[in-house]
């Protein structure tokens, strides 16, 4: 199906893009177009104006901010996956980016676009949530920071306002004694597709026991969701396989598990446990 007719602009400065968004309520930002264009063709989104930010210079870098990594709006999934500082400081995000779609999608789609899009089965939102990332949103009237815990509101709905651009995501680096990981079951049985269910985990070990943990699920509910009961059950244990299995059994607690074309509620709840355990095991193994 063809999209409804729309206007298209490709500004070369952030200011110009922000002014266009402010002046045109209902306009949509396009970064990679990997999700926006298919949804426009299905006529699920019919913006009157598409503001393509792909030609804006200076927002395509990953920078080391000391205690965090700042990933700009136009950093593609492939770049997030391949970056050595992301691989060592925020491994869950690098792994999630590397498991996002196929080669073409990873070379066109952006990490910030995946976060802004807030698909219920996307990979990088779960990693950003587990890692405790901060979103930097900019409009023509200024900049604000949104914690990942508050960013994912509902299906395809983030806390971004229509006139805002997600210009950067800041991801805290996992330091000494910490590790993180992401794993999923893809819809076609492999990993390079949206998640039937997946989990990202961050673990900190102090003196041989787990002192902090965060686990986020994707594909299971209406948005990426922290599995707080898993973290609560794991903290204070030795992080052994047995402790992880027992903690992961709480994965669906307090989570509204949704049935979809890819699985029943029971199956999704089961996968949430399996992938929470796998991500936790990999995160513990990665503790440095
Ligand atoms: C064949 C295929 C397979 C895929 N498989 C997966 C998968 O396995 N896992 C997965 O997680 N995703 C998958 N995707 C989605 C892919 O990751 C998209 O790239 C991503 O969801 C959106 O990134 P984008 O840069 O293309 O955003 P766009 O498509 O340009 O935009 C998506 C939405 O986010 C908004 N937006 C984009 N960037 C910004 C910004 N900087 N600020 C504010 N709003 C913004 C747009 O307005 C739009 O509403 C797949 C897509 C395709 C086509």
Domains annotated on the chain, with CATH? 7-52 (3.30.43.10), 62-172 (3.30.465.10), 178-285 (3.30.390.50)
CB of 160 sitting under 6 A from ligand 1 = yes
Sign of CA dihedral 254, 258, 263, 264: positive
| Measured CA distances, 75 to 82, 93, 218 (Å) | 11, 13, 22
Q: How far is the CA of 282 from the centre of ligand 1 (A)?
A: 27
Instruction: List the residue whose alpha carbon is closest to atom 10 of ligand 1.
Output: 122
Of 5-14, 236-245, 252-261, which range is least confident? 252-261
Instruction: List the residue whose alpha carbon is closest to atom 39 of ligand 1.
Output: 113
Instruction: List the residue whose alpha carbon is closest to atom 36 of ligand 1.
Output: 113
pLDDT band for position 288 (cuts 50, 70, 90): confident
Q: Please give the pLDDT value at position 191.
A: 67
For the purposes of burial, counting CB atoms within 10 Å of the CB of 71, is it exposed (0-12), middle (13-18) or buried (19 or more)?
buried
3-state secondary structure the chain: CCCCCCEEECCCCHHHHHHHHHHCCCCEEECCCCCHHHHHHCCCCCCCEEEECCCCCCCCCEEECCCEEEEECCCEHHHHHHCHHHHHHCHHHHHHHHCCCCHHHHHHCEHHHHHHHCCCCCCHHHHHHHHCCEEEEEECCEEEEEEHHHHEEECCEECCCCCCEEEEEEEECCCCCEEEEEEEEECCCCCCCCEEEEEEEEEEEECCEEEEEEEEEECCCCCCEECHHHHHHHCCCCCCHHHHHHHHCCCCCCCCCCCECCECHHHHHHHHHHHHHHHHHHHHHCCC
pLDDT for 127-166, tens place per residue? 999 999 999 999 999 999 999 999 999 999 999 999 999 9
Q: How far is the CA of 89 from the centre of ligand 1 (A)?
A: 23
pLDDT band for position 283 (cuts 50, 70, 90): very high
Instruction: List the residue whose alpha carbon is closest to atom 4 of ligand 1.
Output: 101
- Cβ contacts of 250 within 8 Å, gap of 6 or more: 227, 229, 230, 232, 233
Q: Please give the pLDDT value at position 96.
A: 98
Q: Can you tell me the mean pLDDT for 243-270?
A: 95
Q: How far is the CA of 102 from the centre of ligand 1 (A)?
A: 13
Q: Please give the pLDDT value at position 224.
A: 96
CB of 96 sitting under 6 A from ligand 1 = no
pLDDT band for position 27 (cuts 50, 70, 90): very high
Q: How far is the CA of 72 from the centre of ligand 1 (A)?
A: 15
């Amino acid at each position: 199906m063809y999209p409804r007719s729309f206007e298209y602009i490709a500004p070369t400065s952030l200011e110009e893009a922000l002014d266009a968004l402010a002046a045109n309520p209902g306009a949509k930002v396009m970064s990679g177009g990997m999700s926006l264009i298919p949804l426009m063709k299905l006529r699920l989104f019919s913006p009157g104006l598409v503001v393509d930010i792909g030609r804006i210079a200076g927002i395509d870098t990953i920078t080391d901010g000391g205690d965090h990594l700042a990933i700009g709006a136009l950093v593609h999934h492939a770049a997030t996956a391949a970056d050595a500082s992301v691989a060592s400081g925020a491994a869950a995000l690098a792994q999630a980016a590397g498991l996002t779609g196929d080669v073409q999608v990873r070379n066109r789609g952006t990490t910030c676009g995946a976060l802004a899009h807030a698909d219920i089965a996307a990979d990088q939102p779960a990693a950003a949530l587990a890692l405790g990332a901060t979103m930097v949103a900019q409009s023509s009237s200024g900049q604000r920071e949104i914690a990942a815990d508050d960013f994912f509101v509902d299906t395809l709905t983030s806390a971004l306002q229509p006139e805002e651009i997600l210009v950067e995501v800041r991801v805290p680096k996992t330091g000494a004694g910490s590790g993180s990981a992401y794993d999923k079951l893809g819809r076609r049985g492999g990993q390079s597709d949206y998640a039937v269910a997946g989990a990202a985990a961050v673990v900190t070990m102090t003196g041989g026991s787990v002192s902090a943990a965060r686990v986020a699920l994707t594909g299971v509910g209406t948005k990426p969701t922290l599995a707080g009961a898993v973290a609560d059950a794991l903290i204070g244990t030795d992080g052994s396989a047995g402790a992880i299995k027992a903690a992961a059994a709480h994965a669906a607690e307090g989570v509204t598990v949704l049935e979809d074309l890819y699985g029943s509620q029971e199956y999704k709840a089961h996968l949430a446990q399996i992938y929470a355990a796998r991500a936790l095991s990999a995160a513990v193994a990665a503790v440095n």
